[in-house]
Amino acid sequence: MSLRAAVTEAKRIVVKVGSSSISGPNVGQIEPLVDALSAAHARGAEVILVSSGAIATGMPYLQLDARPTDLATQQAAAAVGQNVLIYRYQESLRRYAIVAAQVLLTAGDLENPTHRGNAQRAMERLIDLRILPIVNENDTVATHEIRFGDNDRLAALVSELIGAELLVLLSDVDALYTRPPHEPGARAIELVPFDDDLAGVEIGDIGAAGVGTGGAGTKIAAAKLAAASGTAVLLASTANVAAALAGEPTGTWFAPRP
């Protein structure tokens, strides 16, 4: 099967978007992201969005110029921002008559068998009802000890939880490169075989500084985690999400475990 067919024929797709892609000056990217998700939904795919951005979205409402460093203020910003973020997604999804559902998880939820089972059952039912689950870490109750650390890992764990065939990790950068893309000689990597340890790749950061927590290293780790559970992974830029979900040649493909 070609990579294009693997994308367009995937029945269950998890898409992860980072804070810097849908907040602050990039808040306008929510609408084209929703356009792409809705197109996949319209062709019959079951789509789950894992969206960061609660803290970054809440910051202006708390008159904060930078991401807070103390846990209590992060929790407060998340409580405000999560509400605004879901409202923005629902307003955009309304154009397609799609209803969103908010699903907030902590690392402890996916480690506790009872909580994990409840989360899985609820998400399966939402998917059956053709609702679009929007998943985020429950920043308001998460602590430093139990946080996922970044939503790339959360997206990989959600993919495993619901048996997704495809995970699309979106960022500010259009692919994984052999070295940080701004450096001379950097080349985009089109395909990462399952058993490739990427030993020759120099890891830099992916994403704008200041609002997100992920980088190239977290995306590679998440992609490897998802691939090990049988989920194919496509690393692409948020600006190219429509092309990515249409199966066009873009980004970096991580082959799943055979």
| Dist. CA 188–CA 196, nearest whole Å | 15
SS3 content of the chain, % helix, strand, coil (to 5): 45, 15, 35
Cβ proximity of 80 and 61 under 8 Å: yes
Using one digit for the tens of pLDDT, what is the confidence trace for 11-70?
999 999 999 999 999 999 999 999 999 999 999 999 999 999 999 999 999 999 999 988
Q: Are 136 and 23 in contact (CB under 8 A)?
A: no
139 labeled binding residue: yes
Arithmetic mean of pLDDT, 129-149: 81
pLDDT number for residue 207: 45
CB 28 within 8 A of CB 237: no
Q: Is 224 annotated as a binding residue?
A: no
Of 167, 215, 184, 232, which is closest to residue 19 (Cα–Cα)? 215
- % the chain with pLDDT above 70: 93
Looking up tokens 């940080």, which residue turns up? Answer: 180
Name, in order, each residue with C-beta under 8 angstroms of 97's C-beta and a sequence gap of 6 or more: none
pTM: 0.92
Length of the chain equals 258
Q: Give the residues across from 248 on adjacent strands.
A: none
- Would you say 92 is a known binding-site residue? no
Q: Which fold has domain 3-254?
A: Carbamate kinase (3.40.1160)
Q: Residue 204's pLDDT band (boundaries 50, 70, 90)? A: low
Mean pLDDT of 200-222: 67
Is 16 labelled a binding residue?
yes
pLDDT tens, residue by residue, 71-123: 899 999 999 999 999 999 999 999 999 999 999 998 788 889 999 999 999 99
* Count of C-beta atoms within a 10 Å radius of residue 57: 27
Q: Domain spans of the chain?
A: 3-254
